[in-house]
Structure 1
Amino acid sequence: MISPAVFTHVVKKLPLGICILDTDFTIRYFNDFFISRLTLNAPAIGSNILDLFPEQARFLKKKLTSAVVLNNSSFSYWEHRPHIFQFNSSRPITGEETLMYQNLEIVPLDIEDDQVKTLCLILQDVTEQASYLQSQKQLAAQLETQYHEQAALLKQLKTTQAQLLHADKMASIGQLAAGMAHEINNPLGFINSNLQSLNDYLNTLVKALTFSEKLIQKTEDSALHRLQQDYFSRAKITFITEDAPELLHESLDGIRRVSRIIQNLKIFSHVDDTHWQLCDLRDIIDSTLTMLSNDLRHNVTLHIEYADDLPLLQCQPIQLNQVLLHILNNAVQAISQKGDIWIQVTVQAEQLHVTIRDNGCGIAPAVLPKVFEPFFTTKAVGQGSGLGLSMAYNVIKQHQGHISLSSEQGQGTTITLDLPLQPKLPVADVDRLTHER
């Protein structure tokens, strides 16, 4: 039989961080691993863990509260949040890891009458694993850079062959994008509809609960009051009614993100091609700015200059609208606080010359050669599909025009579009335009 003293000694020496808290998050115990690797001054028994780690307090409180209310273990992995606690790295691999990468598990302890009395935090050091995976990512990035450098050299040596291969690649990606858009769009529609209905149902149920609670409170039956309060407490009704709308809101936001990606895929694959028309480019730009008005009015000052007597442009207006939308949206996102966007349209040698310039963060020189490649993006995961500028490149080429981009990091980005007033159209489109006139 193992004595309590031996057991306590083993826990104290475990190669894991152990910290025991009250339900008000007061520290009641920590082992050697936890205290010896902290970069702060040693905490005292009785101090609040949220006060020790203010930068992570909100996240920690949510995790701890979830374990208390739901009476279930809660997990956090290093890929999601690598440094919850400011611990020194115990297994430096490359010499660059100064903080410990850690997995966190929160386990309810001392449960009485279905109420959690204490919580145990278990921290696992995964610095070695994280270092290995990150080095693999760096190696993959280096290999990718070398691949693109070799591909660029091959393109210079065999220009014609590269153009043919690129055209074939674009056609294949377009077919794939069209198929993906069609297959995903159908289930996405009913998922979105169901979530909207579920949100309405939830609001109705919450109102019904609130109404029933008010009715019970108005009665003089104290036993009924106690029954209602006991049931609400055991079923965690308050927590559920607060957490469920947030979960639904996040799900609906995810649906909207997927919908934007599907729309970009459809545009990229020319699923929604429109007919050629004679249009005023000023109207196309103005409608695009209207779509972005909510984003523009907060932190962007617009400077628009149109040449006098701009001629009409033969184009596909919806496609150009999408091109301008992506370019201007990128410009807005490049401006972190306050900034300016300049739009200028002039006529040069039977072409409309459009310049869109911002004074945002700019683009790194190493990235510039890739900006028109499909699925390449510098944005965080979930914030960009990498199809915007690639789609713009293909649409401008379809209009027999030219698009170019120049940028300086920290100074801003300039995109220029040259669009012929009268591009050579396919016979079917020429016949249709002649008939309409």
Structure 2
Amino acid sequence: MVDVLGCSALVDKLPLGICVLDREFNIRYWNSFFADRMDIPVEQAAGQNILELFKDEARFLKKKLNSVFVLNNPSFSYWQHRPHIFKFKSSRPITGEETMMYQNMEIVPLDIENGEVQSICLILHDVTALAGYFNAQKALSEQLETEHAEQRALIKKLEMAQGQLLQAEKMASIGQLAAGVAHEINNPIGFINSNLQSLQDYVGNLIKIIEFTEKVIDKSASTTYKQLKSDFLERQQYAFIKEDIIDLVNESLEGAERVAAIVRNLKSFSHVDNSDWQYSDLTEGMENTLKIVSNQLKYKVEVHRDYDANLPEIYCQPMQLNQVFMNLLVNSAQAIDEKGDIYVSVKRCEDGVVVSIRDTGSGIEKKHLDKIFDPFFTTKPVGSGTGLGLSLSYSIVQKHEGEMKVTSEKGVGTTFDIYLPFLTEAHVIEREKKASLAAMTSS
């Protein structure tokens, strides 16, 4: 057995947290790094259960600790993946404010008897300074990139006369690319999901076979077989593996389904599998768009939905309307500084559909309301926007013979109302024929 107490004078001088644990996760020793931060002296820590002391981290810690006991291999966790395993304050904050300690954790086997780990050592590295340097470098890179973006924006402003057309062509290309990528991903995800489901069934059958074999042996008169069974299952860590393998398969199936859902949302959003003009469900388009922009919404925005039931499909260009919805939703999210709400409604009116997107953001000053649909006009800082998003959205709505209106109050929020009439396929075809004939005549 390792004489951990005899090493205490040395390890107390190291800038590391050191904690020795037995197989029941009881503390045999920890150094002053832990003692000072938990206000539990070294001599009083012995015998306490680390999972009880750190209940918020218990599930993560238990899985990490178990993997070392079972597999007899070291385990690691780096700050980039999980920066604050233990909720310790930093002893050397990287700014004028007190910050949480960034940590790397290493767990290594310590005492091994007959091939079985009896105790392990948890080593905690305070890497706040390193993380601060990394984050500072990242912030500096982002600042330089922002400055470069501002310079590029000034240059691009002279080249934006054809911006709306280029943007529309780009969206079409992105839609085609999205459909292609979705198709390529669908195939491997399909057989991965199928194989995982088969593996799930096989694992269940194998566990049943093992359990049946156990029962047969237990009912036999041979104490030798019973003892051999018990010793073998214990050596192979069967109880742990039986529980963990089911979780692993279920998590893998869940991950595969998430990828499949992303692919479905991407295909629905792009609508490139179908013709440009088509009958489409606006509610479905809005939902797909909300899923696409969910990463920009989920941390600070609560979305409230109000959809008419049995809303008829309208003849439109779904991908372009989805782009309008996305522009407005992203703008609304950016107008909300910390926490706020976005209210989305899709309602039928007498001869069409009205889509409303209202936010509780910072609002727009009255002097800007008449300009927000102008090309290149933006209230965002230089480099943060081209001023084409709302202009492009406005032209898309006009192309659908609709109307787009905005109302806003500074400090209260903004509402965009989009009216889209019920067009017919014949009407759109006739209109495009007239437009083509007019273009040929003028040329």
Q: Compute the TM-score of the two structures, normalised by the length of structure 1.
A: 0.69
Tell me which amino acid in the other structure corresponds to 1:25: F
Could you list the per-position Cα deviations for residues 31-90 of structure 1 after superposition, in whole angstroms to 9, with x for gaps in the alignment?
344434x26454623222223222222222222222222222221111222122243424
Could you list the per-position Cα deviations for residues 191-242 of structure 1 after superposition, in whole angstroms to 9, with x for gaps in the alignment?
1211111111111112222222222222222211111111111111111111
Structure 1 stretch displaced more, 199-208 or 133-142: 133-142
Match of 1:313 in 2: 314
Match of 1:30 in 2: 30
Aligned pair in 2 of structure 1 residues 54, 5: CA closer, same or farther (>3 Å)? Answer: closer
Give the CA deviation at 1:103: 0.6
Looking at structure 2, the residues matched to 235 and 75 of structure 1 have their Cα atoms a distance apart, in angstroms, of 23
Give the CA deviation at 1:161: 3.0
Looking at structure 2, the residues matched to 413 and 398 of structure 1 have their Cα atoms a distance apart, in angstroms, of 24
Please list, as runs of the form range in 1=range in 2, the aligned pairs for 1:75-90 lying within 5 A after superposition.
75-90=76-91
Tell me which amino acid in the other structure corresponds to 2:45: I
Aligned pair in 2 of structure 1 residues 190, 326: CA closer, same or farther (>3 Å)? Answer: farther
Looking at structure 2, the residues matched to 123 and 145 of structure 1 have their Cα atoms a distance apart, in angstroms, of 36
Contact map agreement 2:196 2:249 (CA 8 A) in 1: yes
Match of 1:227 in 2: 228
Residues paired across the two proteins, number? 389
Q: Secondary structure at the match of 1:75?
A: strand
Match of 1:271 in 2: 272
Match of 2:58 in 1: 57
Is 1:344 paired with 2:344?
no
Give the CA deviation at 1:273: 1.6
Give the CA deviation at 1:22: 1.7
Looking at structure 2, the residues matched to 241 and 409 of structure 1 have their Cα atoms a distance apart, in angstroms, of 59
Looking at structure 2, the residues matched to 112 and 251 of structure 1 have their Cα atoms a distance apart, in angstroms, of 35
Tell me which amino acid in the other structure corresponds to 1:223: T
Match of 2:421 in 1: 420
Could you list the per-position Cα deviations for residues 253-280 of structure 1 after superposition, in whole angstroms to 9, with x for gaps in the alignment?
221222223234434554322585668x
Please list, as runs of the form range in 1=range in 2, the aligned pairs for 1:267-306 lying within 5 A after superposition.
267-274=268-275, 285=283
- 5+ unaligned residues in a row in structure 2: which ranges? 291-301, 365-378, 434-443
Tell me which amino acid in the other structure corresponds to 1:63: K
Give the CA deviation at 1:421: 2.2
Contact map agreement 1:21 1:120 (CA 8 A) in 2: yes
Match of 1:209 in 2: 210
Aligned pair in 2 of structure 1 residues 300, 173: CA closer, same or farther (>3 Å)? Answer: closer
Match of 1:15 in 2: 15
Could you list the per-position Cα deviations for residues 95-142 of structure 1 after superposition, in whole angstroms to 9, with x for gaps in the alignment?
345332111111121111232211101111211221122223333444
Looking at structure 2, the residues matched to 403 and 416 of structure 1 have their Cα atoms a distance apart, in angstroms, of 6
Contact map agreement 1:300 1:340 (CA 8 A) in 2: yes
Please list, as runs of the form range in 1=range in 2, the aligned pairs for 1:365-404 lying within 5 A after superposition.
none
Give the CA deviation at 1:356: 5.3
Tell me which amino acid in the other structure corresponds to 1:15: P
Aligned pair in 2 of structure 1 residues 421, 234: CA closer, same or farther (>3 Å)? Answer: same
State the percentage of identical aligned residues: 48
Looking at structure 2, the residues matched to 138 and 182 of structure 1 have their Cα atoms a distance apart, in angstroms, of 37
Q: Compute the TM-score of the two structures, normalised by the length of structure 2.
A: 0.68
Looking at structure 2, the residues matched to 326 and 250 of structure 1 have their Cα atoms a distance apart, in angstroms, of 34
Match of 2:74 in 1: 73
Looking at structure 2, the residues matched to 288 and 173 of structure 1 have their Cα atoms a distance apart, in angstroms, of 18
Looking at structure 2, the residues matched to 101 and 214 of structure 1 have their Cα atoms a distance apart, in angstroms, of 50
Q: Secondary structure at the match of 1:82?
A: coil
Give the CA deviation at 1:20: 1.0
Is 1:191 paired with 2:192?
yes
Tell me which amino acid in the other structure corresponds to 1:17: G
Aligned pair in 2 of structure 1 residues 28, 373: CA closer, same or farther (>3 Å)? Answer: farther
